[in-house]
Amino acid sequence: MISCSLILTQELRRLRTAAAPDDSCALRRPANHVSNPPGEFQLIERLLKRLGPGRRAILGPGDDCAILPAARARQLLTIDSMVEDVHFKLAWGTPEALGARALTVNLSDIAAMGGAPRFCLVSLALPDWANRKWTGAFYRGLLKLADETGTSLAGGDLSRSEKLVCDVMVCGSVPAGKAIRRDGARPGDVVHISGPLGGWRHRPTITPRLDLGRKLRGKATSAIDLSDGLSLDLHRLCVASGVSAALDRVPLLDGATERQALHDGEDYELLYTAPPGLRVPGERIGVITKGRPGAVEYRGKPMPILGYDHFRNRR
Ligand SMILES: [Mg+2]
């Protein structure tokens, strides 16, 4: 972890210097501003080339979870941040709902790999306004979902911050050889999603699809959870698998537009592929094709990749 943090710090410092030497906030500005910093996807790609998979990892950074060897199974490791005014607004919900959401976004990654959660670590940085009552309610929401999903809270950290920041790390497990990765889609596979889409505006609550993920073991050839929008997450899956995709439909949540379903983030449904003719749960939305890796068509036309990018989008 130390070497990862060091490389990340050095990379961010170098990019800030290169982007705008007189403005340390350049990375938070949209792409059409004076500076033109690399997007989140480009930054991750650059970091992955430097980090590599790690000596003991079966699968390193770049998928929904890392995979580590264990005695009878494989360990799945994932971590996600929630930052006030970046990932959420306080006005969006109760502290209980926020606590549940902080865990859900990580459980969704475990679900995408076909795994079961085992334990979590929670690091919380609290502003001055967050009193004991608020903090207690946050943990109540988190622990309720942890109990329901068999996830033990193994530890964590508390500190102060101007904005609320919550980092949750989840460790899960999956039988050896059964993890569903992003890189297994093949031309001819059918593309499915676990439910209708519409993005965070139309989805007040999110549910980790753990039961579905387990059912897809040995059936799905690839999977990813939809955190940053269908167009961007399908693009990522296609890049990892070296394939392209053609979509013909997308089911909509009530009140959502087609554009929101294609590009808005934080649906946390699963997107997965399966061989043609194999019955799997969910809704068929298209097929995997042989073409430029990462290219996606929607109803016969190239689809722009417009999902959420932390360094180019602002809500
Ligand atoms: Mg994910």
- Report the pLDDT value the prediction gives residue 50, as an integer from 0 to 100: 63
pLDDT band for position 265 (50/70/90)?
confident
Is the confidence at residue 3, as pLDDT, over 90? no
> Which residue in the block uniquely carries the two structure tokens 């210097």?
17
Q: What are the pLDDT digits (tens) for 170-196?
A: 999 999 999 999 999 999 999 999 999
Q: Which has the higher per-residue pLDDT, 54 or 13?
A: 54
- Report the pLDDT value the prediction gives residue 305, as an integer from 0 to 100: 86
112 CA distance to ligand 1 middle (Å): 7
- The region of weakest confidence among 84-98, 108-122, 134-148, 222-236 is 84-98
Stretch 156-178: mean pLDDT: 93
211 CA distance to ligand 1 middle (Å): 16
pLDDT band for position 64 (50/70/90)?
confident
110 CA distance to ligand 1 middle (Å): 8
Stretch 189-206: mean pLDDT: 91
- Report the pLDDT value the prediction gives residue 53, as an integer from 0 to 100: 60
Residue 248 has a CB neighbour count (10 Å cut-off) of: 13
C-alpha to C-alpha distance for 107 and 169, rounded to whole angstroms: 9
Q: Which has the higher per-residue pLDDT, 233 or 27?
A: 233
- Report the pLDDT value the prediction gives residue 1, as an integer from 0 to 100: 35
226 CA distance to ligand 1 middle (Å): 7
127 CA distance to ligand 1 middle (Å): 28
- Report the pLDDT value the prediction gives residue 72, as an integer from 0 to 100: 80
Stretch 68-94: mean pLDDT: 87
89 CA distance to ligand 1 middle (Å): 21
132 CA distance to ligand 1 middle (Å): 31
129 CA distance to ligand 1 middle (Å): 31
Q: What are the pLDDT digits (tens) for 16-43?
A: 333 333 222 222 333 333 345 556 666 6
137 CA distance to ligand 1 middle (Å): 26
158 CA distance to ligand 1 middle (Å): 25
C-alpha to C-alpha distance for 82 and 101, rounded to whole angstroms: 9
The gap between the terminal CA atoms of the chain, to the nearest Å, is: 30
Structural domains in the chain, sorted by start: 64-175 (3.30.1330.10), 182-302 (3.90.650.10)
189 CA distance to ligand 1 middle (Å): 21
pLDDT band for position 55 (50/70/90)?
low
23 CA distance to ligand 1 middle (Å): 31
252 CA distance to ligand 1 middle (Å): 21
Is the confidence at residue 294, as pLDDT, over 60? yes
C-alpha to C-alpha distance for 215 and 314, rounded to whole angstroms: 36
- Report the pLDDT value the prediction gives residue 306, as an integer from 0 to 100: 83
63 CA distance to ligand 1 middle (Å): 7
Percent of the chain with pLDDT over 90: 63
Mean pLDDT estimate for the chain: 84
